[in-house]
Amino acid sequence: MGSFLSSLGFTKSKADSNLYYKVEEGNPVILLLYVDDLFVTGEDRLIADTKRKLAAEFEMKDLGMMHYFLGMEVWQSADGIFLGQGKYAVEILKRFGMMDCKAMATPMASNLKLLCDASSDPIDVTMYRQMIGSLMYLMNTRPDICFAVNTLSQFLTDPRSVHLVAVKHILRYLKGTIDYGLKYDANQKFNLQGYVDSDWAGSAADRKSTSGCCFSMGSGVISWFSRKQSCVALSTAEAEYVAACSASCEAVWLRKLLSELFDLPLDATGIFCDNQSCVKLSENPVFHDRSKHIEIKYHYIRDMVQRGAVKLLYVATDEQIADVLTKP
């Protein structure tokens, strides 16, 4: 398939090996390939021409406008695109006997601190892992459960009843938010920007912090993560700095992908952070007493700032979108 697409003038993306693109008469055609499924987007005329050439070479079935892809439901209209996994969420609830449960307003209790609690009863490890795995796939369109799922995935080795209760809390939240998803409005500006945040020493087990980040284009988020940091931070600024490094890595990859697809000059990508010390640290190449111990790899953010790829910008805490990815 790859060689045939190349013969049609498509270029394989360096940022994503399943993505192919070409430009005809100034108009981009983008094709995404996954095993034996593919979809193509661009001008109607160019889409039709691409499908005709593919059908002449391969046995294929044209399913028309995309409505369902890899477990994700797709609604397209003149107003924009909506991505959701409502059917999959219902399947999860049915599979684990939670279809008739009482809905909860949040994915996790706000005061919950989880440990490897040996005093709590052991549970079925396989079932717990299946629940977490199902929720991880649901995160493809549900960044609102990202922090809760990331936290509970840290107990896959020896889950206890206290952890099962917390997972069922997520399922109860899903019961009341089945129709949630991602909305991308039409005719929005091509503007990539990110938000990054961290808690500080949020893990009760080892006092490590959590990094949370999301990137948006137009009206919707296109990338996000919530992950535990690998080192113990000595201050809030250091925890935010470590998180900002992870965010800059994601920004560089997104910029690479977008520059391939659309061949547009990109200004420095703004990443909003609610810690002014972290912002200053990213701009200052001098090592100070309070920062000289920070591992070298985390100074990648400084290099990207100096190269003009990203820039950290201050945002007030109450406007920090990534906050939902770092705490209950």
- 74 part of a folded domain: no
Domain boundary among 176, 206, 240: 176
| C-alpha dihedral (19, 34, 62, 23), degrees to nearest 10 | 0
- 230 part of a folded domain: yes
- 163 part of a folded domain: yes
Looking at the structure, tell me whether residues 168 and 261 fall in a common domain: no
Which pLDDT tens digit goes with each residue over 227-254?
A: 999 999 999 999 999 999 999 999 999 9
| Three-class secondary structure of residue 311 per DSSP | strand
Rounded to an integer, the average pLDDT of 192-215 is 94
Domain boundary among 176, 204, 236: 176
- Residue 286 confidence (pLDDT): 67
Looking at the structure, tell me whether residues 277 and 203 fall in a common domain: yes
Note down the domain range covering 172.
84-176
Looking at the structure, tell me whether residues 88 and 140 fall in a common domain: yes
- 182 part of a folded domain: no
Which helix (H) or strand (E) is 84 found in, with range? Answer: strand 80-84
- 73 part of a folded domain: no
- Residue 292 confidence (pLDDT): 82
Looking at the structure, tell me whether residues 105 and 50 fall in a common domain: no
Looking at the structure, tell me whether residues 216 and 307 fall in a common domain: yes
Mean pLDDT (the chain) is: 93
Looking at the structure, tell me whether residues 171 and 194 fall in a common domain: no
Q: Is the pLDDT of residue 199 over 90?
A: yes
Domain count, the chain: 3
Looking at the structure, tell me whether residues 123 and 218 fall in a common domain: no
Task: Identify the CATH number of the domain in which residue 214 sits.
Answer: 3.30.420.10
Which pLDDT tens digit goes with each residue over 294-306?
A: 888 999 999 999 9
Looking at the structure, tell me whether residues 151 and 222 fall in a common domain: no
104-118, 145-159, 283-297, range with greatest mean pLDDT: 145-159
Looking at the structure, tell me whether residues 153 and 209 fall in a common domain: no
Angle at 7 between CA 258 and CA 48, to 5 degrees: 70
Rounded to two decimals, the pTM is 0.92
Higher pLDDT, 291 or 136: 136
- 70 part of a folded domain: no
- 79 part of a folded domain: no
Looking at the structure, tell me whether residues 205 and 109 fall in a common domain: no
Looking at the structure, tell me whether residues 131 and 44 fall in a common domain: no
- 77 part of a folded domain: no
Looking at the structure, tell me whether residues 164 and 205 fall in a common domain: no
Domain boundary among 148, 176, 204: 176
Which pLDDT tens digit goes with each residue over 33-49?
A: 988 888 999 999 999 99
